């Protein structure tokens, strides 16, 4: 079976929100001798991006995305360690992620974290209720390239605005700030107003944006 | 109708019944701004029915919109189940840990009395106070979180999605029985206290969260049954996108549906086919950065898409954030005064 066929079948599994079928498909692919790296780069990541695009065009729902996030977890567990053992999938980039303090909605963040891990990014998830100073301390401690902040509620936005100056003070502008969540999806200019470098409408887009930011990030 | 004598109540009812009143009505889901009018902090304001009733009445006088919304905050409906509200200075309370720790807790769950929640008791009081002042003149709209969305508060959204996707249907159905009963009970209490209609904000049923097929299988049956048992007009609020399920909503028995800024007003109106009035869909988050002119422009675009033929109410897509300016809110009303008078003048619109 070709990689294209695996890709198409995986997209179909994701859109049916059928996690067992997706897991079965990936295991069959590995058992048939497909290189794990090719599976990750040519099947899994493009499939996730495809669901992300459909989400952006309002053609996919959160349940489909949620299952895609679980499959991303499965991939992280099953495939990324294989790549690391081979040295072929060395983790690219470090992201500290969290839901800003005052907002108790964590699902979007978890899905983004799963997608990033599946894309080979090293993710340190701080969970919910993270104050700006905690983001900055964790970014410094982990040597993060990117701080990713999630928010669903509008009233927490001013807190996100506190991050940029704190990050600049701590790491002299090395750390990029990525923000995401409903307020940023509904208000296109908002990410700039809070001093972020980028926003992403969904987890698939977050992977692309993180990869772009990593290319731009100055060497530490 | 005569613009000199028509009341907000007559205006809204005419539009919800598919007609053309003197102008397009405006509904503002405005729950927090009353605190500013009364010079109170949010926590203090949201502690008493007297405050909320007075705040709603003053806001209606100020903006001349066509309905009161004496609703406190969504978390209040999870409080009889054991949830805790966490307050903030500049936004609605969030919920602490979900009261149901795992799926097995569903088996012990009983339908609580809505009056076990202090903010729900105060909500009823606020409705009664509003009704005593303006019943029959200004519509009073209550809110009940519908059966399919309430579990996202009781279990947390992640656990509710897991139960729907991977868990036993028996537990899903047991939970829906409890949440449906609670929703019907709470909605009917508000109607009995003087509310003219009840909004059901059904985020988890929206196309943002579930697919069309999942909506038909999981949510639509319980939503239809709930609507049937509520003894008054029901308005659905998508909170998430509804366009992909718009053709199914008329069968719920609701009177109207509030759609989001991501939905196309024209396509939703067409899908409703005159069987459901259309409400929406000003972008309440983008409004944070708007001045009066931007509000006028955006409201005018909504009117252009949906006002022709009546059966339309201009409204933000959902609850208005606390930081939205007075001039942006006033701009919505100015827009309907300028371009939303029936008969519409197409060239001006």
Chain B residue with minimum CA distance to A129: B96
> Of A22-26, A78-82, B102-106, which range is least confident?
A78-82
Closest among B295, B254, B218 to B26, alpha carbons compared:
B295
Q: What is the pLDDT of residue B73?
A: 94
Q: What is the pLDDT of residue A102?
A: 83
Report chain A residues whose CB lies below 8 A from the CB of B92: 153, 155
- Angstroms from A83 CA to nearest CA on chain B: 29
At A84, the pLDDT band (50, 70, 90 cuts) reads: low
* Angstrom distance (rounded) from CA B14 to CA B2: 13
Q: What is the pLDDT of residue A1?
A: 80
Q: What is the pLDDT of residue B226?
A: 98
Q: Is the pLDDT score of B2 beyond 70? A: no
Closest among B11, B16, B8, B2 to B197, alpha carbons compared:
B16
Q: Kindly determine whether residue B241 and residue A58, on different chains, have CB atoms separated by under 8 Å.
A: yes
Q: What is the pLDDT of residue B346?
A: 80
Q: How many CA atoms lie within 13 A of A111 on its CB side?
A: 28
Q: What is the pLDDT of residue A76?
A: 73
Q: Kindly determine whether residue B158 and residue A155, on different chains, have CB atoms separated by under 8 Å.
A: no
B234 phi/psi in degrees, rounded to 5: -115, 135
The gap between the terminal CA atoms of chain B, to the nearest Å, is 21
pTM of the shown model: 0.89
A150 phi/psi in degrees, rounded to 5: -110, 145
Report chain B residues whose CB lies below 8 A from the CB of A58: 207, 241, 243-244, 262
Complex ipTM: 0.86
Q: What is the pLDDT of residue A87?
A: 53
Percent of chain A with pLDDT over 70: 94
User: Which among B90, B158, B288 has CB closest to A187?
Assistant: B288
Q: What is the pLDDT of residues B211-242, one digit of tens each?
A: 999 999 999 999 999 999 999 999 999 999 99
More confident residue, A48 or B279: B279
At B58, the pLDDT band (50, 70, 90 cuts) reads: very high
More confident residue, B66 or A48: B66
Q: What is the pLDDT of residues B153-174, one digit of tens each?
A: 999 999 999 999 999 999 999 9
Q: What is the pLDDT of residue A85?
A: 67
- Average pLDDT (B239-246) is 94
Q: Is the pLDDT score of A81 beyond 80? A: no
Q: What is the pLDDT of residue A90?
A: 53
CB < 8 Å from B in window 60-99 of A: 61-64, 66-67
At B4, the pLDDT band (50, 70, 90 cuts) reads: low
Q: Is the pLDDT score of A38 beyond 90? A: no
Q: What is the pLDDT of residue A91?
A: 54
| Beta-bridge partners for B236 | B200, B257
Q: What is the pLDDT of residue B41?
A: 95
At A14, the pLDDT band (50, 70, 90 cuts) reads: confident
Spatial neighbors of A79 by CB under 8 A, at least 6 apart, are: A26, A30, A36, A39, A40, A44, A118
- Angstroms from B192 CA to nearest CA on chain A: 32
Q: Kindly determine whether residue B207 and residue A61, on different chains, have CB atoms separated by under 8 Å.
A: yes
Report chain A residues whose CB lies below 8 A from the CB of B86: 104
Chain A residue with minimum CA distance to B322: A155
Mutation for testing the A interface, residue in B74, B78, B94, B215 having most A CBs under 10 Å: B94
At B143, the pLDDT band (50, 70, 90 cuts) reads: very high
Contact predicate A6/A32, CB 8 Å = no
At A17, the pLDDT band (50, 70, 90 cuts) reads: confident
Closest among B182, B187, B185, B223 to B204, alpha carbons compared:
B223
User: Which among B157, B284, B321 has CB closest to A107?
Assistant: B157
- Angstroms from B262 CA to nearest CA on chain A: 8
Q: What is the pLDDT of residues A101-122, one digit of tens each?
A: 988 788 889 889 988 988 889 9
Q: Kindly determine whether residue A62 and residue B283, on different chains, have CB atoms separated by under 8 Å.
A: no
Q: Kindly determine whether residue B86 and residue A104, on different chains, have CB atoms separated by under 8 Å.
A: yes
User: Which among A102, A183, A190 has CB closest to B88?
Assistant: A102
Closest among B242, B188, B233 to B215, alpha carbons compared:
B242
- Say whether residue A107 is in contact with chain B using an 8 A CB cutoff: yes
Q: Is the pLDDT score of A218 beyond 80? A: no
Q: What is the pLDDT of residue B256?
A: 98
Closest among B137, B35, B118 to B80, alpha carbons compared:
B118
Angle between helices A45-56 and A203-216 (to 10 degrees): 110
CA distances from residue B342 to B6, B257, B312 in whole angstroms, order as listed: 13, 21, 12
- Average pLDDT (B328-346) is 95
- Say whether residue A16 is in contact with chain B using an 8 A CB cutoff: no
Q: Tabulate helix, strand, coil % of chain B (nearest 5).
A: 50, 10, 40
Q: Kindly determine whether residue B262 and residue A58, on different chains, have CB atoms separated by under 8 Å.
A: yes
- Average pLDDT (A60-83) is 80
> Of A171-175, B141-145, B215-219, B306-310, which range is least confident?
A171-175
Spell A4-26 as b/e; 16+ CB within 10 A means b: eebbebbbebbbebbbebbbebb
Q: Is the pLDDT score of A169 beyond 70? A: yes
Chain A residue with minimum CA distance to B241: A58
Rg of chain A (C-alpha set): 17
């Amino acid at each position: 079976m070709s990689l294209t066929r695996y890709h198409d079948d995986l997209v179909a599994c994701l859109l049916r929100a059928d996690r067992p079928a997706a897991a079965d498909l990936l295991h069959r692919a590995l058992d048939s001798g497909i290189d794990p790296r090719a599976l990750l780069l040519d099947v899994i990541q493009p499939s996730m991006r495809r669901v992300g695009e459909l989400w952006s065009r309002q053609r996919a729902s959160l349940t489909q995305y949620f299952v895609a996030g679980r499959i991303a977890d499965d991939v992280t567990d099953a495939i990324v360690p294989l790549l690391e053992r081979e040295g072929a999938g060395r983790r690219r980039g470090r992201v500290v992620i969290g839901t800003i303090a005052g907002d108790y909605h964590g699902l979007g963040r978890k899905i983004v974290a799963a997608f990033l891990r599946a894309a080979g990014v090293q993710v340190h998830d701080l969970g919910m209720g993270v104050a700006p100073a905690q983001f900055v301390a964790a970014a410094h401690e982990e040597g993060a390239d990117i701080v990713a902040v999630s928010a669903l509620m509008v009233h927490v936005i001013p807190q996100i605005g506190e991050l940029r100056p704190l990050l600049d003070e701590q790491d002299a502008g090395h750390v990029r700030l990525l923000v995401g969540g409903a307020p940023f999806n509904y208000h296109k200019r908002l990410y700039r107003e809070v001093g972020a470098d980028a926003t992403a409408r969904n987890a698939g887009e977050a992977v692309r944006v993180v990869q772009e930011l990593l290319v731009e990030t100055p060497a530490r | 109708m005569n613009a000199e004598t028509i009341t907000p109540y007559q205006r809204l009812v005419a539009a919800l019944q598919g007609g053309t009143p003197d102008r397009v009505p405006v509904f503002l889901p405005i729950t927090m701004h009353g605190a500013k009018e009364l010079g109170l902090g949010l926590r203090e304001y949201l502690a008493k029915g007297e405050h909320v009733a007075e705040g709603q009445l003053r806001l209606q006088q100020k903006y001349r919109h066509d309905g009161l919304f004496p609703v406190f905050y969504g978390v209040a409906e999870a409080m009889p189940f054991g949830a805790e509200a966490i307050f903030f200075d500049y936004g609605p309370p969030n919920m602490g840990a979900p009261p149901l720790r795992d799926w097995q807790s569903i088996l012990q769950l009983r339908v609580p009395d809505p009056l076990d929640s202090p903010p729900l008791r105060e909500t009823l009081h606020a409705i009664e106070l509003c009704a005593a002042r303006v019943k029959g003149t200004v519509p009073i709209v209550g809110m009940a979180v519908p059966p399919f969305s309430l579990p996202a508060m009781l279990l947390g959204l992640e656990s509710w999605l897991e139960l729907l996707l991977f868990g036993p249907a028996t537990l899903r159905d047991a939970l829906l029985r409890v949440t449906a009963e609670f929703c019907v009970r709470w909605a009917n209490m508000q109607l009995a206290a003087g509310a003219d209609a009840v909004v059901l904000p059904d985020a988890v049923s929206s196309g943002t969260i579930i697919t069309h097929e999942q909506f038909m299988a999981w949510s639509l049956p319980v939503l239809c049954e709930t609507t049937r048992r509520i003894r008054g007009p029901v308005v659905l609020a998508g909170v998430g996108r509804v366009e992909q399920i718009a053709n199914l909503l008329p069968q719920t028995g609701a009177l109207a549906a509030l759609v989001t800024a991501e939905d196309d007003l024209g396509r939703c109106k067409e899908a409703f086919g005159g069987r459901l009035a259309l409400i929406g869909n000003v972008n309440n988050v983008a409004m944070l950065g708007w001045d009066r002119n931007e509000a006028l422009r955006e409201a005018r675009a909504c009117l252009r898409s949906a006002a022709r033929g009546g059966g339309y109410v201009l409204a933000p897509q959902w609850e208005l954030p606390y930081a939205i300016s007075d001039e942006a809110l006033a701009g919505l009303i100015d827009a309907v005064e300028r371009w939303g008078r029936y008969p519409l003048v197409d060239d001006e619109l």
